[in-house]
Amino acid sequence: MDLKQLEYFVRVAEMGSFTRASIALDIAQPALSRQIRLLEVELRQNLLIRNGRGVTTTEAGKLLLEHARGVLHQIERAKEELSRIRGALSGRVAVGLPPSLSKVLTVPLAREFRERLPEATLSISEGLSLTMQESLINGRLDIALLYNAPPSPEIDTLPIIEEDLFLVERLHPKSNLGPIDLRELAGLPLVIPGRPHSIRMLVEAELASLGFHPRAVLEVDGITGILDLVADGVGCAVLSMNAVTTSGKAGMLNARAIVEPRLRSRLALAVSARRPATGTQQSMLELLQSLCGRLLKP
């Protein structure tokens, strides 16, 4: 069994598409399809079901996917063990960051990664917490910082910080600088992310517990776009203070504490519960934990 074929099969199965996998692997789609077909012929099993939306794994494919991930992981660990003999860790680690933290963490994370792991490769991507959680499960990401991650047997989490969320308004001479009760949010025009963004789900859940629901005048998933609209007077937003201070628009905005009760967002480091971390991934976990402790204020 060819290891390259196993790698190709895992990538197609995880991405659910020959097209996406061919782009990620930088291989022509016909060549990729041919290699998967050769693997199926060798194993005398159909591994993938082709449909109009992409591919899904057969029962045989699911079984091979589990074993193939283990085999490829062991190969990666062997490479790392050999690299330790030379005194350096190698390999690739893929990290997912929420957009609100990417501005704060990307540059120092890349800088310290190069210093600590000069022979390793780092991939950083941005995404919503729910999307990144799915990417951890299917192997596209090794580590992610997730907001308000729901419990899952597929994911192991390490709490990092809890941060208060604020009502963010356009600043004007008569702005109220005092705190606001959570129930008062229900009467305000909110520019808020759509479902299943973690902030949207948190605001809806907390207001529902008080018998209210948010009044969303616009749904915008990007933090930059939300703050542009708030600064333009379209509505209010519910965001962390970090999102405000790193936006470049802090002088145009008024952030009010939310109380009775406080609205808190929980940030955690997350990894797959099914795949043990390699040495490179473990070093990245330690680096991220240290970096978050220094740069992110609760």
C-alpha to C-alpha distances, 298 to 82, 111, 159, 292, nearest whole angstrom: 40, 23, 12, 10
The C-alpha atoms of residue 174 and residue 193 are separated, in whole angstroms, by: 27
- Supply the pLDDT for residue 167: 95
151 and 276, same domain (yes or no): yes
- Supply the pLDDT for residue 85: 58
144 and 181, same domain (yes or no): no
CATH of the domain at 112: 3.40.190.10
10 and 53, same domain (yes or no): yes
CATH of the domain at 238: 3.40.190.290
With a cut of 70, which residues of the chain have pLDDT below it? 77, 80-89, 297-298
Task: Print the domain residue range for 190.
Answer: 163-265
Best CA proximity match to 112, nearest among 294, 288, 293, 297: 288
155 and 210, same domain (yes or no): no
Degrees to nearest 5, angle at CA 97 with 78 and 142:
20
Cis omega (within 30 of 0) on the bond before 298?
no
Domain end call among 56, 81, 106? 81
pTM of the model: 0.69
260 and 270, same domain (yes or no): no
Dihedrals φ, ψ of 24, to 5°? Answer: -65, -35
Number of domains making up the chain: 3
- Supply the pLDDT for residue 88: 63
220 and 75, same domain (yes or no): no
Q: Are strands 54-57 and 119-126 parallel, antiparallel or unpaired?
A: unpaired
139 and 173, same domain (yes or no): no
62 and 50, same domain (yes or no): yes
53 and 65, same domain (yes or no): yes
Report the DSSP beta bridge partners of residue 50: 55
The C-alpha atoms of residue 229 and residue 235 are separated, in whole angstroms, by: 7
37 and 101, same domain (yes or no): no
Report the DSSP beta bridge partners of residue 46: none
149 and 227, same domain (yes or no): no
Degrees to nearest 5, angle at CA 112 with 107 and 117:
130
167 and 140, same domain (yes or no): no
CATH of the domain at 15: 1.10.10.10
Domain end call among 53, 81, 109? 81
- Supply the pLDDT for residue 208: 94
Q: Are strands 143-147 and 264-272 parallel, antiparallel or unpaired?
A: antiparallel
